[in-house]
Amino acid sequence: SATDKPHSLIANEQGEVFVYGSTSSGNFPTTISAFDPTFNGVDDIVISKLNPTGSALLGSTYIGGSGSDGLNGMTNNYGDQFRGDIELDSAGYVYFISTTNSTDFPADTSSFQATVGGAYDACLGKLTPALDTLIWAAYYGGSQGEGGLSIALNSTAEIFISGATSSLNMPVTPGVLGLTN
C-alpha cells in the first residue's frame, strides 16, 4: 500500500528468483514461515523468493528495526538511495548488504559488530534458502555514516562487500589501501 523498491535480484540453479529491496508498506506480501512476517519501522528490507515462472511466492520476509532499513543515506547520484545487494552461495544460502539507521536492527550479539556505530551503518546478513531463519546479521561502520552497496562471495564463501563511508574510524584491516578517508 506504500512504496516498494526492488534493488537487486539473482537466480539460483533451479531458476528460482530472489529479489532484494526495501519497502515502507506494512502489508508487503510475506510468507507464513518468513523469518519476520511483520513490518518493523519507517522502511524495512524485504527479500522474496519466486518460482522459476514467477507465478508463486516461495518465501518472503521483512528484515529491519524501528528506523529506516534498506535505504542508503549516502547519496550522490540519482537512485543511490536504492542501493543494496543480494548474493547466493553454492548451498543456496542468501547473503544481503544494505544500510540501516535502526539501533535495534536484528544484528547477532556475537557478530563482528553487534551495535550501530554512527548515524547509519552498512548492515549485512545471511538467511536460509527458504528465508525462514536469519543465520547471522551485523552492522558495519564507524562513528559517522556508511552505506552498504554490493556483496560478492568467492568459491570458498568468503564475503566481500563494498560501500561508502564518511567515518574516519571505519574498521579496516592493517595494510589495506585507503586507510584514510
Least Cα distance to 47 among 1, 2, 4, 102 occurs for: 4
- The whole-angstrom distance between residue 7's C-alpha and the CA centroid of its chain comes to 10
pLDDT band at 99 (very low <50, low <70, confident <90, very high): very high
Q: Which range, of 12-16, 74-78, 155-159, 169-173, averages the lowest pLDDT?
A: 74-78
Q: Are 87 and 120 in contact (CB under 8 A)?
A: no
Average pLDDT over residues 108-133: 92
pLDDT value for 181: 47
- Report which of residues 179 and 25 the model is more confident about: 25
Q: What is the pLDDT of residues 12-37, one digit of tens each?
A: 999 999 999 999 999 999 999 999 99
Q: What is the pLDDT of residues 23-75, one digit of tens each?
A: 999 999 999 999 999 999 899 999 999 999 999 999 999 999 999 999 876 66
Instruction: Give DSSP secondary structure letters for 69-115.
Output: BS--S---STTGGG--EEEE-TT--EEEEEEE--TT----TTSS--S
String of b and e for 42-76 (b: at least 16 CB within 10 Å)? bbbbbbbbbeeeeeeebbbbbbbbebbbbbbbbee
